[in-house]
Amino acid sequence: INISVFPPSNACIGRYILNMQITSCGHTYQRCLGDFYVLFNPWCADDPVYMDNQAHREEYVLNEHGILYEGVHKHITSRPWHFGQFEDGILDICLKILDMGASYHHGSDRDHCWRNDPVHVSMVVNHMISSHTTNSIMKIPENNDYLKGTKPFSWNGSVPVLQQWYNGRCRPVRYGYCGSLASVMCTVMRCLGIPSRVVTNFCFPCSIENPLGINEIFDCTGKNLCGKDKLWRYHCWNESWMARRDINQCCGDWQCLDPTPLETGRGSACSGPTWVRSIREGELDLDYDGHHMFSRVNSNYVGWLSQNNTKKTKFFCDAWPCGQHLITKSVGSEQFEDITGAYKYELGSVKNKEAYYRAYRRIHPGYCNASNCHIERELSSLKNPFLSDSGINMRLKMANCPMYGEDVQLHWLLENLHSENKNLKFNLCAQIITYSGCPMDQFWKDTVNVTLGPREVKKIPLCISYSQYGPYLCDHNIMKVVAVSDPECGEVLMVSRDIVINRPPVIVKLLSQPRLKVPCTAEISFCNPLQEDMKNCIMTLEGCGLFKEPMTIDLGTLASNQQARTIVEFTPYRLGSHRLLANFGCHKF
């Protein structure tokens, strides 16, 4: 007997048991034929997650390999990630996540009725990633302290995270960051049949008091002081494709889901789902957390100089607008796709201003009847004056692309826009900044007197040696260089540059052609570029379809310029396109 099951498009997802009942000669027999799973189906036109483009389905549902984009908006870095949604046991783990989070929106889960709605399923998954009080999948370290767990940036994929959570009695895995949280969520959503992707937003504001304003405070040396607001260098979240019946959508579109708990003024919480188009249009009353998502791509930057902790002055600067660069992996390509236009209209355009005014009135009820001109005047009064308004243009330009162990070379460009001499005194400094905008050690300071003749352009070379920044960099590979004029000379001018220090590459070379269930070898090599020993060196290898679990190799201590070569053997256990990932760690990073 061949039995075919055709579940309706509104069936609840989950594991089902199939029983057969036979009645013969007055006797009834029951037999369990087995179990089967029902998932959302993006190939079915009646399903709320239907996606009509085959190439998009292959990328956002079937692809197990992804790329995370990090760094800063002027220096974007990338690293591969294994989603692994088809690995053994992952589907059962994803359904366990729904079981554990069932009470998030519903007092009980006895009828499972919400499991046919991708909106509610996505909200439960979003909540379970890091916001659940006791059983969340992953935790973010407090105050950048992760000594009691795994380094947040050492994960290569979602599978070890989900397995550790499941095997650890559903206790949070320590530790992750926004990129790993969004990627784990992407794995769960793709596994359940919901098309999903990871998005990175550069210059991401996190403000507690003013939703549409982000404040950074500096002292007279240029040091970034730790205030309530944080300007994240980048932030990752998840987008999922679905038709939202709750807001009367007749066809699918991208919905924004942010699993990272962020401070909102009413406590920390994750966000979404929010229709991406409603963010662009400023229609904040339409959706969940619309005002939070709008502010994260439209906040205004305000920089302040603090003098003796009593007086704050706005300085002249050319600030990069928040949320001006949002990217994700391209379909069928290793390159990134710029999707900023999906979240906001072109900066300064009529539609961009209309959307902003519309959102401003909803976020600030006191302006609900204010004219556009009134709102524009209010915004203008909050912004920093441009450098050109002071008669001076400045910028910091990279002269090299430094790798760990190399000196940082910059060119400081100054231009006098006026026809008279300018005599200025500048304080320069450099300090480590975490990706989440937390200022750390200030490790370099200098003072420079600059004289500019009428209309003169001057280029001043700056050098920060590895011996100066190396002891402080640790896992945070971002530093901030600032030049600020002495307030006693008159108007305060400021220019800054975020710099990414690239980590040394790990080289993977296959020594034989991979075949299913046939042993294969690869050579993994790494060279210590520093003029000092690297201690506690560890290489972690991972690959969907290649390793059942991550392989860790202890390399011990690597001397200066020493190259470590390791031959590893593995046996591919399933067909498909596989990728071998190697991650290197030591006492330095």
- 3-state class (DSSP) for residue 114: helix
Total residues found in the chain within this entry: 589
Instruction: Give the separation between CA 15 and CA 175, rounded to whole angstroms.
Output: 30
- 3-state class (DSSP) for residue 56: helix
H helical segments located in 20-152: 54-57, 90-100, 118-130
Q: Of the candidates 273, 270, 299, 303, which has an alpha carbon nearest to the alpha carbon of residue 359?
A: 299
338 annotated active-site: no
Q: Of the candidates 172, 58, 196, 64, which has an alpha carbon nearest to the alpha carbon of residue 122?
A: 196
Q: Three-class SS string for 319-383?
A: CCCCCCEEEEECCCCCCEEECHHHHCCCCCCHHHHHHHHHHHHHHCHHHCCCCHHHHHHHHHHHC
- 3-state class (DSSP) for residue 96: helix
Bond into 175 cis (ω within 30): yes
Catalytic residue among 94, 170, 178, 317: 178
178 annotated active-site: yes
Catalytic residue among 65, 82, 132, 235: 235
Instruction: Give the separation between CA 155 and CA 165, rounded to whole angstroms.
Output: 14
In sequence order, the 6+-apart residues with CB closer than 8 A to the CB of 186 are 66, 83, 158, 196, 197, 198, 238
Instruction: Give the separation between CA 38 and CA 21, rounded to whole angstroms.
Output: 22
Is residue 200 within 8 A of residue 235, CB to CB? The reply is yes
Catalytic residue among 47, 117, 229, 258: 258
The Cα angle at residue 254 between residues 248 and 255, in degrees rounded to 5: 75
Q: Which amino acid is at 117?
A: D
**Chain centroid offset of residue 479 CA:** 18
Instruction: Name the β-bridge partners of 445.
Output: 429
* DSSP secondary structure letters along 151-200: -GGG--BSHHHHHHHHHTTTPPEE---HHHHHHHHHHHHHHTT--EEEEE
474 annotated active-site: no
Instruction: Give the separation between CA 193 and CA 190, rounded to whole angstroms.
Output: 5
CA-to-CA separations, 236 to 192, 230, 442, 561, in angstroms, rounded: 21, 15, 27, 35
In sequence order, the 6+-apart residues with CB closer than 8 A to the CB of 520 are 510, 511, 512, 513, 514, 569, 570, 571, 572
What are the residue numbers of the active site?
178, 235, 258
